[in-house]
Amino acid sequence: MKKLVRFGVSLDHHLLNDFDRLIAGRKYTNRSEALRDLIRDNLVGHEWDEDKETVGTITFVYDHHVRDLTRKLTDIQHRYQSLILSGMHVHLDHDHCLEVLVVKGKGSEIKTVSDELIGTKGVKHGKLTATTTGKGLS
């Protein structure tokens, strides 16, 4: 069983009130759980900064009527197939498609494929959501 450690934190009362409103809105049961999540989120960001093996999703929306766009997006995905674990394609309406790719690899490599896909002419919006493999996090 993991050993829990208690420690005290001093905060300005305005900051604590803002934090309490935030965690209540997110349905945390206590401050400890919220603090643990904040710490984990910072550690995950550090994994990306250190270019460790990470995972994430690349989500983008595009107009499939843009000339040659589908081929370009497919070519990019084939070039980086070693990083792409899975993908989902959704037809949003007559003109627009959504793709979600699950990616795994070094942070810098994932950022490269994400930037290339999202920066392709005809992609209307995209976002890389970075997370962790979970290794080393408590």
- 103: CB partners within 8 A, 6+ apart: 55, 56, 57, 58, 83, 84, 85, 110, 113, 114
How many helical (H) and strand (E) elements, i.e. helices and strands, does the chain have? 4, 4
Q: What is the pLDDT of residue 3?
A: 85
- By the 10 Å C-beta count (0-12 exposed, 13-18 middle, 19+ buried), 50 is classed as exposed
Q: What is the mean pLDDT of residues 121-135?
A: 91
Q: How far apart are CA 8 and CA 18, in angstroms?
A: 18
Three-state DSSP class for residue 97: strand
- As given in the structure block, the two tokens for residue 85 are 């674990």
What phi, psi does 13 have (nearest 5°)? -65, -30
Q: Would you say 103 and 56 are in contact if contact means Cβ atoms under 8 Å apart?
A: yes
For the chain, give the number of residues: 138
Q: Would you say 60 and 125 are in contact if contact means Cβ atoms under 8 Å apart?
A: yes
With a cut of 70, say whether residue 112 has pLDDT above it.
Answer: yes
Average pLDDT of the chain? Answer: 91
Q: What is the mean pLDDT of residues 28-36?
A: 91
With a cut of 80, say whether residue 28 has pLDDT above it.
Answer: yes
Cα 17 vs. chain centroid, distance in angstroms? 28
Q: How far apart are CA 1 and CA 74, in angstroms?
A: 47
